[in-house]
Structure formats: C-alpha cells, structure tokens
Chains A and B, each alone.
Chain A
Amino acid sequence: MLVRFITQLRDAGIPVSVTEYLALLEALKAGIADHSVDDFYGLARTILVKDERFYDRFDRVFSAHFSGLESLLDMLVGADIPEDWLRKLAELQISPEEKAKIEALGGLEQVMEALKQRLKDQKERHQGGNKWVGTAGRSPFGAYGYNPEGVRIGQESSRQRSAIKVWDRREFRNFDDSLELGTRNLQIALRRLRRFAREGAAEELDLDGTIQATARNAGWLDLKLRPERHNSVKVLLFLDVGGSMDDHVKVTEELFSAARTEFRHLEHYYFHNFIYESLWKDNRRRHQQRIPTQELLRTYGPDYRVIFVGDATMGPYEIIQPGGSVEHWNEESGAVWMGRLMAAFPRFAWLNPQPERYWEQTSSVGIVRKLLEQRMYPLTPAGLERATRVLNAR
C-alpha cells in the first residue's frame, strides 16, 4: 500500500527516493506514529518531503490516497451506531485529567454536542462538502472512533486539529514554486536572480589561504588565488504596460529593483503590447519622452542580457504587420524590431505572467515564442530558474 503512495508522490513531482521510503518504514516499525492518521501524516511529511514547496502537493496526494481508505472504513462501520456505544468508546480515550476538564465544561454530553456543532460548521466552511466531515456530522462514530483526537478538539486546544483538516485545507499552497510570484515566492525568485548575478571569475589573491599554504610548506611561499566574486551582469528590462499587465509589471519591477544591487547595470524600458521604434522610461510622460529603439541598440553592448516581461496577448497583426500597432502608425513591423533586438543582444528571454497552460490558446503567444526561438518562460520561480539558465549560456 505504501509503495503505491510513494509512486503517487513521485508522480506528483515530489522527489522521494528509496532511502526515504525505508526510513519511513523504519520509523513506523519503531512505533513513532502510534497508529493514528494524524501522526502518520506528520511523520510521513517529515521524512518524505524535504522542501516546503512540496507540502501542498504532498497534502493533495495524501488526501487522494487515504480518502479511499476512509470510505472503506465508513462502509464497514455502517451508519447506525448506538449512542452509548459511542460514548463508551470516547470514555476509553479520555484520561482522568481530561475527564475532570470535561466535567468542568459541563459534562460529556455538552462537549459532544459542541463538537458536533463544530464539525458541522467545518462542513459548511469547507468547499465541496468533504466526506470526512460530512460523515462525521451524521454518524459521529466516523469521526470520534477513527480519530480519537476528535474528542479533544471539543475541549479547548484548537491546535489539535483533525489531521484531515490540515491536509485538506492546503495551507502550504503559496509555497509551491509552480505558482506565480507572490511576496514569499518573490524572495525565492530573488535568490535565483542573485545567483544569476554572481557570475564572472577573475582571480584575486587569497591571503588566508596563502599564509596557510606557506606555513604548511614550512615557510616556502605558496601563493593561492581564488575566483573573485563580483557582479558583472548587466540587464535590460522591457516591460509591457497598460491593461491586464499592470499588476504583473509591478511585481516584476519590485523583483528586479530589489535585486538591483546585485546587477552592475539594470535599465528598464516600457512598451505597450509589442516593441516598435520607440520606448519610454516614465509612464506618466510616455507621450512626451520617447526613446528611439535604435538609440538603445547603439547605447548598450551585446553583453547586456535582455528580459522582456509581457503576456504577449494581442492581435497577430500587431506583431507581423507594418502599421499594426494599436496606438500609432509603425513603419516597420514589430517582428522586424524584435529581430534587431535579438541580433544586438544574443542573450534574451521573455517572461510571461500568464500560466503556461494557457499559452496554447492565444495565437499571438505562439507567434512571439516562435519569433523568440521558444525562449518564453512563465513568471514563476521555476520559470525564472529556466530563464536565468538561458541567459547565462555562453
């Protein structure tokens, strides 16, 4: 059974290996998770998942895999459980101190009642009416019997959540790196960019290393050098503004300006939908202060890396036709200008804030991708990683 669970995790893209599987078995054998689902969930996550990015995926696989088990249990148990049978069972699970606490709260009945109420509330809040809680509403045995901690929810410690809730709530959704950039993801993306910035390997004298090596050499001078770490990356950023892009552009600007100290040069220019003969630097004065694209081609050398950010969603004629721009009459088509940029700056990439799965649906995205030799990447930490790899290629 667990083997299937492991393969499902692997299918979901969580790197689980045999070592970890064996470790999990070892842990189970050592009796760390004393046969409650909560504990098993915690244990399995601790051992199998090594990055909070994967917590959400883990939760989903766990829920899918073990919900079948639960419905089986439901079937076995049936619907009608005598009330006092249930109470017996609950009493069995309660220690004397806990009993005293329950007494203080007005007896078991009330606690049970409160608990039932709580479970009901849960169901209502829960989208899609989850069967775990649903079952619990009608036939409390499912909840209490299967998950003795359920009784403890009713007392006071809300920390002691039913584990099902934990993995069905998907609290770690934000950590998944296939998501778009959020504030937390932004930090991770920044680190990617930083790594991208730390390139270049001139040599400098390693003083400590030299002293060490010389001493080891019994006094004969032994010079040591190490690669110098400096930021030599120069970046030109082209941002699509107007319309649907504004939110994304803000995120991207923040991202790059936060990484600004890491780049030796970072310049950004705005465009609308596609690149034509002129761009601007200040959105408020876009009509007064235009900068000819030709000037850019002359100003910046081929060592600049070029990053376009845009959703590439427009009419195809805006790219391929002269005069296709929605804002003005352009003598030459956008594709021609793009070709010039690509020739001048061989290291380029396009970041698209739209999720990758929608790209197929828009023909202009396909055209841009073809034009850019498929160097379009989603604006996610994972996408940035791929983009930086391309940008770093010699």
Chain B
Amino acid sequence: MQNERFVGTQRYVATEDLSMAVAAAVTLGRPLLIKGEPGTGKTQLAEEIAGFLGRPLYEWHVKSTTKAQQGLYEYDAVSRLRDSQLGDARVHDIGNYIVKGRLWEAFCSEVQPVLLIDEIDKADIEFPNDLLREIDRMEFYVYETRELVRARHRPIIVITSNNEKELPDAFLRRCFFHYIRFPDEQTMRQIVDVHFPGIKKELLAESLTAFYRIREVPGLKKKPSTSELLDWLKLLLAEDIAPEALRATDGKATIPPLYGALLKNEQDIHLFEQLVFMHRRTTR
C-alpha cells in the first residue's frame, strides 16, 4: 500500500525536515528514532502519523524495569502452576499461558500498524540490543510453543528517547534519526494556531514574547517548552487575561501572570523573580 507523505495534521505541525524523516522511515520500513527537548511532541508524533495514515497505533511505554522480552511475549508460569495445583484442564496447553506483548500484537495487525516504543532510554542498557533481530527481520521465536512469529505487515516504528542513556551503535545503525528542535517563533505561531484557532492576535503576540523572554533567562534549570506554552495559553484564555497585562510597560519588566505553568521548580521561579526585580531597579 502506498503511503501518503506525512505533512502534519490538524493538531500537529510538522516541520519540513521532520516530514522528510517520516517519509524516509515509512518508505524504507526503518524505525525512526526521535529525540528532542521534553515537550516538543515526540510521543505525539506516532499518534499523529497513525491518525494521518489511518493506521492502528500500538503503544509500548518503556519503564526502567521493562525487558525487551515483555514486548514480545511473557510466559505466565505462575498461573500455570496455580492451575496445575487446582487441576485445571487448561494446564496441558502451554499456549494458554503465553501472554502477547505489544510487539507481537503489532505483528498480528491486519493492516500495516504504527508502533510507538516510548522513552526507550528509560530501560536497561541492554534493552535496545535485545530487540535488534526483531526490528531487523520483524520476526521472533517463541521457545515455549516452538513457533515463529512473523510480522504480517512491517510496522512503522517510532521510537522516542530523552537521551538519558546512550543507545548502542548496532541499534542506531538500524534506525533513522531525527532531532526535533525547539520551534522558532514562526513555527510556534503555527502550533498555537492549530491548538487555539480563535486566539486573539495581541494576546498571542504578547504571550509569545513573554515566553521567549523566559526561555532566554540564563541559568534556568528547566526551560519551558511547547507543551508548557500551550498549557499557559489555556490558562490565560480561561482566566481571560488582557494582553496588556503581559506587556513590559515602559521598559519595566513584569512577571507574567500565571507563570507557574511555565516554570516548574522553585529555584527557577526564584531566579526569575530576582531577575525581574533587578531589572526593575535598574530601569527606574
């Protein structure tokens, strides 16, 4: 089946190079590894691709305790032991105790699915290595039942990483890679437009200026990202804040209202308040 080129959706703005990366990954059937600052829409990308192409989405969220095997299948030995002690007839077929993982489910899909492996860097360092063959050949072997599971359609795999661990080279070789940069003001406008179509021009302009000003404050522990901006705008709209309240009047910097949505820890808030205070003193 020929896939249309992903160019973003109603709710998601894809830049040119991101769309190119997706096109390459979809056409050549390679997994696409996505990195970027938190809150730039890495996880959402898979949902949007699935929505755009009209494909089912399988999500596999990785935690620090996740093993690669869990994505394939798990042998539930404990219930089998219990059944055997209770004399259940099911116990004779080991297949009853094989629990399918997300990867297996994706392999069974009737149409080409989208598979999201979210935050792969959270898992153990060996995790990606354990998936090499599965990702390469799209097949794996179930030892308990001696069957070979093969993908009916090569899934479109999207993998996200927050860079907490380095991924092994052998794994990277098999992936395509894209780094989602923090959007510039123009793109940000498009993104906001997509999320709040009715937003007033002045409010948008003022809030974006305030937002980028905060991002430029040196020494912030966690810079506010796109998702935080969107939350903040939601609050501003809900509270019906006038755009003037955001403006730095006569050179005096003000603390933007509801800034708690943008700055997420007390050191940052403290630093920011201090800077604003100092700025006020100097301009007075």
Chain A contact residues, CB within 8 Å of chain B: 15, 17, 19-20, 23, 26-27, 30, 32-33, 38-39, 42-43, 45-47, 49-52, 55, 157-160, 171-172, 175, 183, 187-188, 191, 211-212, 215-216, 218-219
Contacts and interface: CB of A to CB of B under 8 A. Distances in A.
Contacts of A187: 163
Contacts of A55: 179
A17 to B, nearest CB: 6
B114 to A, nearest CB: 18
Nearest to A250: B219
B247 interface: no
B20 A191 contact: no
The residue in B16, B178, B184 that gathers the most chain A C-beta atoms within 10 A of its C-beta is B16
Contacts of A27: 24, 27-28
Nearest to A188: B163
A258 B30 CA distance: 37
B23 A32 contact: yes
B173 interface: yes
27 contacts: A19-B173, A19-B174, A23-B30, A26-B28, A27-B28, A30-B27, A30-B28, A33-B20, A46-B20, A46-B21, A46-B176, A46-B178, A47-B176, A49-B177, A52-B179, A55-B179, A158-B184, A158-B186, A159-B186, A172-B179, A183-B220, A188-B163, A191-B164, A191-B165, A212-B78, A215-B80, A219-B85
Contacts of B28: 23, 26-27, 30, 32
A285 B177 CA distance: 51
Contact of A171 (B77, B80, B181): B181
B173 A43 contact: no
Interface of B: 15-17, 20-21, 23-25, 27-28, 30, 33, 35, 75, 77-78, 80-81, 84-85, 163-165, 169, 172-179, 181, 184, 186-187, 190, 219-220
Nearest to A33: B20
B78 A215 contact: yes
Contacts of B165: 191
B169 A46 contact: no
A32 B16 contact: no
Contacts of B174: 19
A159 B16 contact: yes
A46 B30 CA distance: 11
A46 B24 contact: yes
A55 B21 CA distance: 14
A211 B78 CA distance: 7
B164 A42 contact: no
Contact of B177 (A51, A159, A183): A51
Nearest to B23: A32
A339 B257 CA distance: 57
Contacts of A157: 186
Contacts of B30: 23
Contacts of B21: 42, 46
B164 A219 contact: no
A215 B85 CA distance: 11
B159 to A, nearest CB: 12
A17 B81 CA distance: 49
A38 B16 contact: yes
Nearest to B81: A215
Nearest to A24: B24
Given A32-B23, A50-B177, A218-B84, A42 B78 contact: no
Given A32-B23, A42-B17, A216-B77, A159 B187 contact: yes
A42 to B, nearest CB: 4
A219 B173 contact: no
Nearest to A26: B28
B81 A20 contact: no
Given A46-B178, A216-B75, 18 more contacts: A19-B173, A23-B176, A27-B24, A30-B27, A32-B23, A38-B16, A43-B20, A45-B17, A46-B17, A50-B33, A50-B177, A51-B177, A52-B35, A159-B16, A159-B187, A159-B190, A211-B78, A215-B81
A32 B20 contact: yes
Contacts of A160: 16
Contacts of B169: 15
Contacts of A46: 17, 20-21, 24-25, 176-178
B240 to A, nearest CB: 30
A218 B17 contact: no
